[in-house]
Amino acid sequence: MHTYEVFTHYERNHWKLSDVDFSAVRGDLVKPEYVAIAKSAVMGESNVIAAVHGFMNEFVDDYDFSAFAVVWGYQEVQHHYMFKAWLEAIGEGVDDAPVEAMRAPYDPGTTPSATLATNIISELTVNHIYRRVATAVEEPVLKDLLLKASRDEAGHAREFIHFCRERLAKHGEEVASVLETLYVYTSDKRIKHPVSVFKSNLTELADHETIDTAFELFLAEVADSEELEELQGKIRRVFGQLVDRDLSSNGKVRRALADVLG
């Protein structure tokens, strides 16, 4: 099984939270926006439990992917705890109530391939943002954690791409749902993430940082004028390779979808 290879690779090479020296956090270098980003990341990463639950429900007939979902979930929980630990190191508490509100599982996607496609977008987005935010952060421990998370998310994206490609090879009828997912997440000038789309309207989050808080800070404080276009372009290229089509613009995504449906 593919996930056996993934698991053994992670086991050999993955970092440990217990090896992070949180006593080395430089409080004098912490800025308010770092706190907001870390709190937003805690919320975004806490969604892992809902996602794993959803995967187990939707992929009940796929042991290999389900095993990957468990491995992936462990690493995403690690991200949740690392940002929480950094916040606690600077004396910032984390309210459990908003985290608890994220627990409900996702409903199944329009197709299993669409669910995998959604997670490809999720991983590519946070990989890009964590990496770029790390370049602007001066506090060394947070910078290192952001880079660790960014590398993890790149690996996760690679595996979701693998499983989506495998799924589409067996279920070509699901290509349209993948194109629809791409269009939903890249058709306007906003950063969209599944947690934002499906969870940001929870009443428990009304007075708390959400993943959108981090996106807004990223666009305001870190991103250059071409940043969103660069991110969306990368996502479209990945999807173009998945379905063997030119998806380099929204118009081409629409035309590809029309061809598939027509």
Residue ranges per domain, the chain? 29-261
Identify the burial level of 133 via C-beta atoms within 10 angstroms of its C-beta, where 0-12 means exposed, 13-18 middle and 19 or more buried. buried
Q: What is the mean pLDDT of residues 81-106?
A: 90
With cut-offs at 50, 70 and 90, classify the pLDDT of residue 215: confident
d(CA 190, CA 121): 13
Q: What is the mean pLDDT of residues 14-23?
A: 96
Neighbours of 225 (CB within 10 A): 6
Flag whether the pTM goes above 0.85.
yes
With cut-offs at 50, 70 and 90, classify the pLDDT of residue 209: confident
**Which pLDDT does position 199 carry in this prediction?**
60
Which two three-digit tokens encode residue 190? 């906003």
- Helix H or strand E segment including 174: none
With cut-offs at 50, 70 and 90, classify the pLDDT of residue 96: confident
**Which pLDDT does position 200 carry in this prediction?**
65
Topology adopted by domain 29-261? Ribonucleotide Reductase, subunit A (1.10.620)
Whether the CB-CB separation of 110 and 97 falls below 8 Å is answered with: no
Identity of the amino acid at 128: H
With cut-offs at 50, 70 and 90, classify the pLDDT of residue 212: confident
Q: What is the pLDDT of residues 100-110, one digit of tens each?
A: 887 888 888 89
